[in-house]
Structure 1
Amino acid sequence: MIFLDDIRKAAAILDGRVIRTPLVRSATFSRIADAEVYLKLECLQTGGSFKVRGATFKLLMSSGEIGGGGVVAASAGNHAQGVALAAKAAGVAATIVMPVWASMGKQEATRNYGAQVLLAGDSLAESISIAKDMAEDGRTFIHPYDDEDIIAGQGTIGLEILEDLPDPDVVVVPVGGGGLIGGIASAIKPLRPETRILGVEAAACPSAFESLRKGRRVTVEAKRSIADGISVKELGETNFPIIREHVEEVLLVEEEEIASAVLALLERKKILAEGAGAAPLAALLSSKFEVPEGGKVVLVISGGNLDPPLLERVVRQGLLKNGRIMRFSACIDDVPASLSRLLGLVAERGGNVLSIHHARGGIGLSLLRARVEVEVETRSFDQIEDIRQRLTAAGYEIKVRR
């Protein structure tokens, strides 16, 4: 178990070495939830996530044991950058084993922080196993979550939350291997036992959810998720008993819900969060847990390392889910002004055309007609339905696509 004194020691050592991230109230999300909603912005931490806390504390506690080979770690991205930064600050070499599917942006960021990157393993578990084997040559292995010093370092977030907001009713934390929620829960529960600690996982990889349900650690099959930072197939051995004792519930969120939360943070708070970091907001906006009326809710936005190509896809998915984009196809006469008449009706109902694909010919299509695929910016599903009805009333047969 991790004790409060361990976390207080970590906080004292990390003071001045990591950023004390802000806890900010969101008027928009507070209004939506009918509660006082606060965001703990670890996405503003050095390296873009909370991981540098645990990595820095671990390296400092292990400084007398680290040999000339330096340290080796395994990570899909955020722990990699945290270890790279901590190792650079400590003046030791770092080798990071990353799964072959790790994003190119996180690979490059890790290299830019001074670490050597090795792509190996089809899963994080395989990468961890490879890194442990590499540690046999004299390097010190830094586990991403199943380590008491790592957990204590992450737990400093819990102390900061209580310093800024002494009486939260609910604290919602992303769950991957369990180091973050294990540390936060170990900090908060001894000081304020009435605070509910909730975990959030992507439904695509429900390892903590299934472990709590079955009463033992289990390994699950992981599907692809935009919340890659919490796609961990099995909870850490050290973390599971902490979660079982201190965490009231683990919630599951779907990919569309995560995408909507990423978009909401961008639009409403101008905050860039990766999928894992947005998962607590996804749980709030999709009503996955009860919020006491007027109660105080803290959402831990754990990281902001979202690659630009994925960001584009996530934002588009969020817009589609929220009725902000309408996509439809229609057949029109292949004569002058036919397309402009169709688009004029869309504009008449307030739609803003984003793109058009115009094609002649094709199976089942008359030689005298053309098929158009149109994407329109909209305000809501009500406006989408209004445009659909207007086009139908004008004689067009349209197919609205999601």
Structure 2
Amino acid sequence: MAHESLPGNRIRVWYRPMRPRDSAEGHRVSTPLELLFDLCFVVAVGQAAAQLHHALSEGHLGHGVLSFAMVFFAIWWGWLNFSWFASAFDTDDVPYRLATLVQIAGGLTVAAGVDKAFEGDFTIVVIGYVLMRLAAVTQWLRAARQAPEARPTAYFYAAGITLCQILWIVRLALPGTSGLIGFFVLVVLELAVPVLAERRSGTAWHPHHIAERYGLFTLIVLGETVLSATNAVKEGIAEGEHTGELVSLAAAGLVLVFSMWWLYFDQPGHARLERGNSLRTALSWGYGHYLIFGSAAAVGAGLELAVGFDSGQAHVSGVVTALAVTIPVAVFLLSVWLLHIGPTNECRPIAIGFPAAAVLVLAASFGPAPIHVTAVLAAVLVGVTVIATHGEREPG
């Protein structure tokens, strides 16, 4: 193990064997490199949300939603694979850091290609995606060489990921509908790689670490939502008209985001992972966050659309504007319910409250002040959750 002494008796490790980390390791927290990874990837999330808003405001609803879902998959899947690998094999030495920085560069390349992707040209997105995925392959090959107990799984990951990247490049040559079908086929193949690989011998991911990683990404996506909505309100107020409506909308949006944060973090994610303690639980929880991350980002685009509607700039109806917020909020509530609460949760008020609130949120789309009503419903659900789960006095 090569190293160099630093002031304060710290040791900088240049290289250490890549072995599985202890899944029960104490005080396992996200590293500065992981935080940098998240920070750079939120740039891509912001680009995707901005393009979704633009498409919706121009009335291109189906195209905008489909393009957002496709681009967001590239962002989310790259982030997910890095996070789970890091939970199991993070050595934090120089080769590991360099490979991670290449993955970050790939993520930023994806961000640079979002605009073109919404126009139908996924070339830049695929280049960035393949770059970060092949950098992940080098990590798996290193794990295969240096961790004999994980060798079959690591080689399967490396081979499966490489095959998928070749097929992503080939897909660029497919026209129209064939390319769209090819996209969904490749998504299924990508999702199948961890399922098949982990059945050989599971990697040693850390429940608390994984829950923290997902929580941090949820935070920065919600932060991007706040930023998008704030900028939209700022632009609207600068025009000097509709100030009262925009301030009211900003307040409702803030309550909504605060409520989404509260509801997600009220139940610790690691508890669900530890209770399930199975590959099926890990996969459903990990994969299911595509809906949580994507819906949280889409709420920001919907709030921007609402600002444009109140300012007279959006070319869509009031119902469409409302649905641009209420649908992602409903998806967020249902996803958090399924992943963190569960339909059979012994606390019936919240087990029933989440799906009931989602239905009421969708219904609010067709009534007066739909976004304000949605914010109130989310806040009420927070109140129900607080009372149902923390209302009893602790003994003593």
Q: Which has the larger radius of gyration?
A: 1
TM-score (norm 2): 0.30
- Which structure has more helix as a fraction of its residues? 2
- Which structure has more strand as a fraction of its residues? 1
TM-score (norm 1): 0.30
